[in-house]
Each structure stands twice: as C-alpha cells, then as structure tokens.
Chain A
Amino acid sequence: MILGFFFTYKPLAQASQTVQNWGVLVSAFALGMASVNLIRVHLRRISKGQELDWLYSGALLVALAGMAALGIAKGPSNKTYTFWFDALFTPGQATVYAMTGFYIASAAFRAFRIRNIESAILLISAAFVMLGNVSVGEALWKGFPTYGKWLMDVPNLAGQRGMMIGAGIGGIAGGLRVLLGIEKSYLGGSGS
C-alpha cells in the first residue's frame, strides 16, 4: 500500500486494491467477534444463576439472537427490524451517552478548580467557548461570541495544529515500528 503511493505501476496498484478488498472482507468477520464474547460471558452468567443476572443475560441473548436472525433472514431494512432498532437500540444508546451531561455537571462542580494560571486559562477559554456558542451569551455581552470565536480560530487552532502534526509524526513512527516488527503489542505479546 505504501509502495503504491510512490510507484504508478499498474500491477502494484491492482495488488494494493486487492489487498484492500480482502481487508474489507476480513473486517466483516471481525464484526461478529464482540458478539461471540458477549454470548460466552452471558451464557456463563446464566449458568451461575446469581440473583437476577440470569434474567438480564437471558434478555440480552434473546435480543441478540432475535435481531441477528431477523437481519440475516429479512435484511436490516425490514419493518420489524427497523421497529426494534428505533425503539430499543437508538434510545438506549442515545440516553446512555446523553447521561454524561449530568456527570459532566457533577464533575465540573467537584473537580474543576482554579489552582494555577494554566487552569485559569482553561476555564476562561471554556467559558468563552460555551457562552460564545449560545444565544444567551450574545445577549449578555457581544464580546462572548467575538472573543469565543477568536479563541477557537487562533490559539485553539495553533494548539490543535501542533498536536495534529505531532500526532501525525508519532503515528508514522509507530507505524514504522509495527511494519519493522519492533512493536508487537497488537498481537497480545510483549513489545520487545
């Protein structure tokens, strides 16, 4: 794939495309791995039969089997499939993520303390971004959206760009380590 970037040799481009297509297919098999893990863990819980755990695990496995069977047999655009997707999956996951709004408020109250100049800069920047992006901020003071935008477009841009370039260089170094066999942690072994 890297060679295909440097050389416009048709067989190389075709080989690169073939490898990519194979990668797509292997990824499709990988989708089932999380489900296999879930099935193993929850079957174990059912067999242990502790308190109500067996009921919850049973519900999970029934939902899993039902959706998988329906999706394989009728396709994911089937009416019943879409019904359960919209009625259970979408609200379930959306609410779990939405609840983090509560936790961020609680964490902001308990942990966000101005102890030095860095944390002061952080809080002021956060306040300007938060108030600059909502109508009430503009109603309170025209400076909130103006300076909030400046903070996003200038120092934030500089910070993000620096981190992006640094992360890019780091990513390439990490990739080279993987390709040269120095980094083996992704295989589940030690890195040496």
Chain B
Amino acid sequence: MLQKLEKMDRRIIYLVVFLSLAIPLIWPIGLPISVGPETASLYKFIDSLPARTPVVISFDTSPGGYGELSSGAIALLNHLAKKDLRCIGMGFFDTGPSLMQSALANSLYKGKTYGTDYVNLGYVSGGENAISAVAKDIIAKFPKDFTGKSTSGIPVMQGITTMKDVSLIVTVSSGTPGVAEWIRQVGDPMKVPMATVLVAVNIPNMTPYLNAKQLYGMIPSMKGAAGYEALIGMKALGTSGMDAQSISHLAILFFVILGNVISYASRNKPGSAKGGGRQ
C-alpha cells in the first residue's frame, strides 16, 4: 500500500490539484476576504490624492505573470478612475503596453477620454537603463504613444516632464526590470512614492522595501486583488478566485504531509534500510 502511494502516478496529483481549483470556482464557498495592511495603505494613499493628480502605471510584466496580476491591476485602475486621477501608462517589458490596453479596456477608464484622462505611452527597450532615461524626460522617450499618435502637447501629460512631477508610481511587476530597478533609479533618488502590484513569488523580497518605507504599499497577487476589490466596493475576478486559492493550498499541504508520512513509514518499516539525508 505504502509503495503504491509512493509510486503514485503524478497525473493523479495533477487531477486532485485541478479539481481543488475548478470545483470552488464553479461552486463558490463564500469564505470571507481579509485585507492586508500593505494593500490598505496603498488604498488610503490613492484615496487621499486630489482629482487630476498624475499617477504613472508601469506594466512590467509578461503574459505569464499577467494571469496573476490582471485582477489587481484592473482593481487599481478602477480606483484611479473613480478618483478621477490622470493615468499615465507605460511598459518596460515588450508585452507590457499590450497587456495594459487589455486592462484599460476592462476598467472604468473605458468610459473616459483617451489623451485627457489616461494614456498608454508604450514600450521603451533597455530595462533599468530605460527606466532611468525615461525618469529624466518622459516625453522625449515616448515621442509617440502606443497607438502611434504624437505625444506632443497631449493634455494628460500637462505639467509633467520628469518622474518628479508625478505623485505616485505603481509598477505591475512580474520580473526584471521591476520593483528593485524602479526603486533604485526613481523611487529613492527622485523621492517619488512607489507601490506595486506584484506576483506572489516576489512578495517575501518586498518586505525590506516596505519596512524601510521605500514602498508605500502593494497589491500582492490575487489575495491583494481580492482585498483591493473589497475596499473599492467592486468585487470581480480577484474575489472569485480566493475560494479556489484556499482549497488548493490545503491540497498542496496535504500532499506534502502525505509524502512525509509515507517516507517516514517506509523508513521505519521492519526490514527496510534506514538512513538517507542529514540528521
């Protein structure tokens, strides 16, 4: 029996994980959503900004990471739109601006005026170097926006030359260049408040920046998105995914514990060789 379990076809594990994700999505349990302090602090900061304040949103993510970030990014855009803030979009991943178009089309900015209320400036190559270059003169690096129109005299960019002229920068980040590069090149040297919508993998890496107040807040993965949706009163995909997240975590922990129980039981079986691994 133990040997059978130990040699279990990995596709059974895949099936259990799949069902633990799919079933709660189809039949939600309705578990309560909690809001993390870093998400609440970002919400409070944005809520305190006066109307027409410029905010830079940088989509530094590939489609691979966007699956996790889309709900948080859209919730953030909805909040900015509700507060009538100017949204200046850009990207330092080649896929970023295209994903931003998709996010804008699914947010309250859809009903606002392009060029006056929001803009997608597009992509600049070069990673950290590009971030540093753009920070010093934004329009010079984006002579045309993502749609191909000239950015000269565009109303949404009125009064903005460098990143020092914006009130908040949020990077929707799943890799490099990401939060660390933005903080190194813009947040710290130019003293511009920074925040992030971030993939879960990078959450532990952000705690030093949050603790040192180099980051004002963050929307971490789908959990942060669910919390942010609750704060802005617009429940959407982030909220609907949390039940599945809960059950899947239980499934993973079950497999870890099962693996250890089987391993321990096999080692202690009479006649089996003990050892393996450091004590």
Give A residues with C-beta under 8 Å from B. Answer: 17, 20-21, 23-24, 27-28, 30-31, 75-77, 82, 85-86, 89-94, 96-98, 101-102, 104-106, 108-116, 123, 127, 130-131, 133-139, 145, 152-153, 156-157, 160-161, 164
Contacts and interface: CB of A to CB of B under 8 A. Distances in A.
Given A93-B64, A134-B242, A157-B211, A113 B130 contact: no
Contacts of B18: 102
B124 A77 contact: no
Q: Main SS of chain B's interface residues?
A: helix
Consensus secondary structure, chain A interface:
helix
B249 A131 contact: yes
A113 B147 CA distance: 52
A27 B130 contact: yes
Given A123-B256, A138-B34, A105 B251 contact: yes
A139 B181 CA distance: 38
Contacts of B17: 101-102, 105
A136 B249 contact: yes
Q: Which of B16, B65, B130 has the most CB of A within 10 A?
A: B130
B277 A116 contact: yes
A77 B256 contact: no
B153 interface: no
Contacts, number: 158
B33 A135 contact: yes
B208 interface: yes
- List 5 A-B pairs, minimum CB-CB distance, nearest first: A135-B31, A115-B277, A136-B246, A97-B64, A27-B126
Contacts of B4: none
Interface centre among A136, A137, A145, A152 (most CB of B within 10 A): A136
Nearest to A97: B64
Interface stretch (B42-50, B81-89, B258-266): B258-266
